[in-house]
Every structure is written in structure tokens, then in C-alpha cells.
Amino acid sequence: MTVTGDDVERRRGRDETEEERADRMWVELIQEVRVAQTGVQILFGFLLTVVFQQKYATLGATDKTIYIVTVVLGATATGALIGPVSLHRLVSGRRVKPQAVRWASRLTFVGLVLLLATMAASLLLILRVATNGGFVPWLVAVVVLWYVLCWFVLPLWTRRRYTSR
């Protein structure tokens, strides 16, 4: 079977050049990243203040370890979600936008996974300190499953279900 230009256009769904597509995808990606960046930066900022609270000194070794892991996860999530901005700034004008969009998209995905881990660890720490309940890991697992469903399963299902072949 021979693939014609019309077949390629139909598969892409838009009549745009590679550069136009990269421009559009960049704008969409940056809008998405803005939402995630704001959330991770606020969460990370609050995490940084915990160590300066009086209650921190009374935490057990396990809770302090969870806190340290959470801060590191928050820092790495912040780095990954701010990365696309730096990438764009450093390669702007170099005629590599399609490649930059691909890398920025990967950084954003990694940032979302790290944000998920940060939120799970934060929730675990907060609920352990607030309740001392044995149900805490189960509750955190349910919330993580909800995040995975909303952030990954539903979008992937939608992509598979509605992407034209």
C-alpha cells in the first residue's frame, strides 16, 4: 500500500507544517505545565517550612525519613516541571522546536509522575502525624489510585478509544 500526502494529512488531523505543529504543541504544553508548576511550587514551598516547625522535632525516625523523601521528590518534580521553560529559553531560535517539544513533553510527564509521588508521600506523612491510624497506607493507596486513574488511565484510554486509525 502506498502512503500519499493526503493519507499523512488525514492521520495528523490538521493541515500544518512540522514547524506550525511544533508551535501549536508548544503553546498547549506550556499551558498544561503552568497548572502543574503552580501546584508543585506551592506544595514544595509548604514542605520546606515543615522542618522549621516545633512539631518536627517530635517526629519519629520513620516520619522524618518520609519527610526527607517527600522534600526530595518535591524538588525533583519542581525541576522537571520547570525544565521545559529552561529548555525553550536555551534552544529558542535554533530551529529545533519539534525536538524541544518532544523533550519538554517528556520532562512534563516525568514531572507529573514525580508530583504524584510527592503528593502521595505528603499525604502519607500528614495522615500518619494526624491520626496514627493503621488505615493510613490504605487511604493513601486509594488516593494514589484515584490520581493514576485521573492523570494516566483516563487520558490513555481516551487516546486509544478516540484516536483515528
> In the prediction, which pLDDT does 12 show?
52
Q: In this predicted model, what pLDDT tens digit does every residue of 63-85 receive, in sequence order? A: 999 999 999 999 999 999 999 99
Angle at 114 between CA 142 and CA 78, to 5 degrees: 130
Residue 2 is given by DSSP the state: P
Sorting pLDDT into bands at 50, 70 and 90, what band is 93?
A: confident
Structure-block grid coordinates of residue 15: 493541515
Q: Where are the domains of the chain?
A: 5-162
**DSSP code for 4:** P
In this predicted structure, the answer to whether residue 10 has a pLDDT above a threshold of 50 is no
Mean pLDDT of 139-151: 98
pLDDT at 107 over 90: yes
Residues contacting residue 32 through CB under 8 Å, at least 6 positions apart: 108
pLDDT score for 143: 98
pLDDT band at 165 (very low <50, low <70, confident <90, very high): low
Contact 56, 50 (CB under 8 A): yes
pLDDT band for position 14 (50/70/90)? confident
